[in-house]
Structure formats: C-alpha cells, structure tokens
C-alpha cells in the first residue's frame, strides 16, 4: 500500500472514512456536506486533491473534489498541463455544493 507524507497532517481518519465514500444507489454522496466541510478546513487539501487528480481510478471525495469534479477539471485543463497545475488550487477552493449538484445532474443524464 502506498503512503504519502502529507497523510499524517490530514483531518480525516479511519473513523471518518464513510463520509468520503458512502453513496446512495443512484451515486449521490450521503455525507457530501460534512465531507466537503472537513476538506475545506484541512491543511493538506491541495496535496490530497493533487494526488486524486493524478489517479483517474481514485473513487470518493479527496481534497474537496468528487470524481465528477475531478473529471471536469481534467477535461478543462487536459490540453495544457502547466495551466492545469497552476490553476488546480483556485479551482478546488472555488468548489461548492452547487457545483457538485450540477455535476451529478449532468452525470445522471448521461448514465
């Protein structure tokens, strides 16, 4: 199993894992608001999101991003990796529950 140095500084723990992975039958995060709030306060939010962005198979909420948000961010910056990495932090900071709700509506229309 891999282990990143920043893990020691994260706010989430084994006791809170369910907040970031529990979904309903239709793919909606059960604890989205709680998870996003914890991520917003986390000192390693950017490192966490960065790791998740590099791993297209990573599931769950990481660094205040869901799979849908990460997918959209990857598509937005796919052509220019330098712009992607310089823009990832502000993009993550601007993530709101409204963005996630819109992403989920779009995905449900596709699936």
pLDDT (tens digit, 9 = 90+) per residue, 50-72? 888 888 888 999 999 998 888 88
pLDDT value for 72: 84
pLDDT value for 85: 55
Cα dist from 13 to 18, 55, 99, whole Å:
10, 20, 25
Q: How far apart are CA 65 and CA 18, in angstroms?
A: 15
Whether the CB-CB separation of 92 and 61 falls below 8 Å is answered with: no
pLDDT value for 108: 52
Map tokens 């599931």 to a residue. Answer: 59
Residue 111 has pLDDT above 50, yes or no: no
pLDDT value for 53: 86
Summarised one tens digit per residue, pLDDT across range 67-96 is 888 888 887 766 555 555 555 556 566 665
Q: What is the pTM of this model?
A: 0.67
- Concatenating the DSSP letter of every residue in 11-48 gives S--GGGHHHHH-B-TTS-BTTHHHHHHHHHH-TTHHHH
């Amino acid at each position: 199993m891999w282990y990143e140095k920043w893990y020691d500084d994260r706010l989430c723990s084994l006791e809170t894992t369910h907040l970031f992975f529990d979904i309903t039958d239709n793919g909606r995060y059960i604890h989205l608001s709680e998870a996003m709030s914890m991520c917003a306060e986390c000192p390693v939010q950017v490192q966490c999101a960065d790791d998740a962005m590099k791993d297209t198979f990573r599931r769950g909420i990481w660094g205040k991003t869901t799979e849908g948000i990460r997918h959209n961010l990857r598509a937005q910056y796919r052509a220019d990796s330098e712009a992607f990495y310089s823009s990832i932090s502000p993009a993550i900071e601007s993530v709101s529950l409204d963005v996630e709700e819109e992403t989920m509506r779009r995905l449900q229309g596709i699936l």
